[in-house]
Amino acid sequence: MIQYLFLGAALGIFNGFISRYSLKKVILSSNRVFYSVWIIGLIYRLLFWICAALWLYFSGKNSIIIMLFSISLIFFQFIFEVFPVKHGNKPDS
């Protein structure tokens, strides 16, 4: 059971770094570009989570494993995406 917690953490860190990299590339762009990348990343993370949860479900895992995996994935995605982007790359004023 603990391996699914670590699997969720590892995949969450991977997705968080991908999202952080893409958002840092466009953080100084116009709002239209930034929010387009943000929405595409949100849809990507949602589809990734759904596919991973369905894979666990159809492989016969019980719901507590799916919940541990999902919570770990979402938490680490959030930590590795939002915090560095929010506190990095500030435009000169």
- How many CB atoms within 10 Å of residue 15? 21
59-85: pLDDT as tens digits: 888 888 888 888 888 888 888 777 655
CB-CB contact of 25 with 89 (8 Å): no
The confidence score (pLDDT) of residue 85 equals 57
Q: What is the pTM for the complete model shown? A: 0.72
In contact, 79 and 16? CB cutoff 8 Å: yes
